[in-house]
Structure 1
Amino acid sequence: MTRPDRSRLQDRVGPLVHPAATVDPGAELEPGVRVGPHAVIADHTRIGAGTWIGPHAVIEEWTTLGRDCRVYPGAVLGGVPQDRHFKGERSFLRIGDRVTAREYVSVSRATGEDAETVVGNDTQMLAYSHAGHNCQIGSGVIITNFTQLSGHVVVEDRVVFSGMAGVIQFARIGTLAMVTGLTRILKDVPPYMLVEGDPLRIVTINRVGLQRAGIPPEVQLTLRRAHRLLTRSALDVSHALERIERELGDSREVRHLVKFIRDSQARGMGIGR
């Protein structure tokens, strides 16, 4: 006898809302949503199928959550931006599928009419972490306990932040970067690198992250050579990039690294020679 697919059965069940929860009549809850006691879901919200909203969690207006998310007690998603430029305009928080927001996570909606803060699919935000207004967070990102992202930060896919890192506004964190604990980020972080410290410096390539992402060994080797040219050669950054492009630029990853650094030259990179 074949067992029924629980995920499909869940989609056929209407939302289950605890009697002690507060759900605005204007909120849209898709099938399979579960809402715990004393949770609050405001007007102009949409909660995707199979999502669990835990006790005392708050989903503020103009917030959308995708399917199968998990929002733990005390989390506040879609709160008013912590920004003196915000004047009450309509703005949004858009969260993808299978996102986890652990205890006391906070994510602000955007500043600016019809602007949005975005959190991509399969991202995990662990306890007490924060993403400010207008952040653009990619998919598969891990933001560990107490890490704080200021407004307008851009985080590309599969970045990992260790605990208690801090990121200045408008900074960019490149794909598959690894940010170690207690790191203060005042400049952009290049993709595929492991960074640490205050002041920020590149330690090496993010070898573990690259292996887990299935990046081929030959590409990892070229990224390691690119790291050496950027951080351990006598070349300045512009000439190092020219040499990387000329000698190592056959892979998509190396091309992305070069473009990212060139685009970051106005703010500066956390190369830390």
Structure 2
Amino acid sequence: MNQPLAYIHPEAKIASNVVIEPFVTISKNVTIDEGSWIGPNVTIMEGARIGKNVKIFPGAVISAVPQDLKFGGEETTLEIGDNTVIRECVTLNRGTHATNKTSIGKDCLVMAYTHVAHDCHIGDNCILVNAVQLAGHVTIEDWAIIGGAAAVHQFVKIGAHTMVSGGSLVRKDVPPYTKAGREPLSYAGINSVGLRRRGFANEKIAEIQELYRYIFLKGLNNSKALDLLELEMPPSRERDEIINFFRNSDRGVMKGYTAR
């Protein structure tokens, strides 16, 4: 840890076995847990809370002040979960008074040049491919994969086990278990490959496909489709998760596929 070519504020709390490479800057009010690696030329600003075995690659800026004109200097945090990898030149902004933190879960991979704005909350096991751009207040649930250079509008919610195509403009919520692509962003089937990789049985995948047939392929409006799901499909965790996602969406959910 005693790297003579790094600047470490004396009030920073850093575990004894953290590796800090040359030309790193670490401010006060920073915590870094054991086993983490901080690569050369990384800047870690006030409010960072970095878990165990995190790897941060050169040029990343962690816990910078939000790019939000309403930010008033309040004390907030940026949290990174255990075993997460932050690649080159990623920028992660801390929170504002809205939620008081920005958070990235455990076992995530945030690839080079990605930006995560203030008050975003990313679940566990997520992958943000190169140059993904998240506006403020975005929520991404566990196991989601966001393709390279995708841009996500503020306050959008992306459900668990989703796959969003690279280059997408994500203006509406993306419900769980789905693939999203095209322009404007639309339903492109369920993420069956991802679900199989994560141990979902074929019967469960078929059930999820049937749930989305009601919503996107039967020509029903969302309200009618959700009512029919409750009447005709047996209760399950996945059914209720999908229904609740649609009913609790503030921005509205992406459209179903329509041939043009």
Q: Counterparts of 2:116 and 2:16 in 1: how far apart (Å)?
A: 28
What is the match of residue 244 of structure 1? 229
Q: Counterparts of 1:19 and 1:200 in 2: how far apart (Å)?
A: 50
CA offset digits 1:127-153 (Å, max 9, x no partner): 001110000110000000000111000
Q: Residue 113 of structure 1: CA displacement?
A: 7.7
Q: Residue 197 of structure 1: CA displacement?
A: 2.3
Q: Counterparts of 1:249 and 1:49 in 2: how far apart (Å)?
A: 46
Confirm or deny that 1:52 pairs with 2:37. yes
From 72, 79, 92, the counterpart of 2:77: 92
Confirm or deny that 1:143 pairs with 2:141. no
Structure 1, gaps ≥5 residues long: 1-15
Which shifted more, 112-121 or 30-39? 112-121
Structure 2, gaps ≥5 residues long: none
From 199, 203, 214, the counterpart of 2:184: 199
Q: Residue 114 of structure 1: CA displacement?
A: 7.4
Q: Residue 247 of structure 1: CA displacement?
A: 2.6
Confirm or deny that 1:272 pairs with 2:229. no
Q: How does 1:103-142 map to 2 (within 5 A)?
A: 103-112=88-97, 115-142=100-127
- Given residue 255 of structure 2, which amino acid in structure 1 is its aligned partner? I
Scaled by the length of structure 2, the TM-score of the pair is: 0.96
Q: Residue 249 of structure 1: CA displacement?
A: 4.0
Q: Residue 210 of structure 1: CA displacement?
A: 0.7
Contact 1:107 1:132 in 2 (8 A): yes
Contact 1:44 1:61 in 2 (8 A): yes
Q: Counterparts of 2:41 and 2:228 in 1: how far apart (Å)?
A: 55
- Given residue 194 of structure 1, which amino acid in structure 2 is its aligned partner? K
Q: Counterparts of 1:210 and 1:250 in 2: how far apart (Å)?
A: 20
CA offset digits 1:39-59 (Å, max 9, x no partner): 111100000100000000111
Q: In the superposition, relative to structure 1, how do residues 25 and 232 fare at CA in structure 2: closer, same or farther (>3 Å)? A: same
- Give the percent of matched residue pairs that are identical in Structure 1 and Structure 2: 38
From 31, 52, 57, the counterpart of 1:72: 57
Q: Residue 216 of structure 1: CA displacement?
A: 1.8
Where 1:85 maps in the other structure, the secondary structure is coil
Where 2:242 maps in the other structure, the secondary structure is helix
- Given residue 88 of structure 1, which amino acid in structure 2 is its aligned partner? G
Which shifted more, 109-118 or 35-44? 109-118
CA RMSD of aligned residues (A): 1.2
Contact 2:98 2:119 in 1 (8 A): no
CA offset digits 1:232-271 (Å, max 9, x no partner): 112111111122222334321121011101111x421002
What is the match of residue 46 of structure 2? 61
Which shifted more, 210-219 or 150-159? 210-219
Where 1:202 maps in the other structure, the secondary structure is strand
Q: How does 1:203-218 map to 2 (within 5 A)?
A: 203-218=188-203
What is the match of residue 7 of structure 1? none
What is the match of residue 11 of structure 1? none
What is the match of residue 174 of structure 1? 159
Contact 2:155 2:251 in 1 (8 A): no
Contact 2:92 2:115 in 1 (8 A): yes
Q: Residue 18 of structure 1: CA displacement?
A: 2.2
What is the match of residue 184 of structure 1? 169
Which shifted more, 127-136 or 237-246? 237-246
Q: Counterparts of 1:244 and 1:73 in 2: how far apart (Å)?
A: 49
Q: In the superposition, relative to structure 1, how do residues 239 and 145 fare at CA in structure 2: closer, same or farther (>3 Å)? A: same
What is the match of residue 8 of structure 1? none
Q: Residue 272 of structure 1: CA displacement?
A: 3.3
Q: How does 1:11-30 map to 2 (within 5 A)?
A: 16-30=1-15
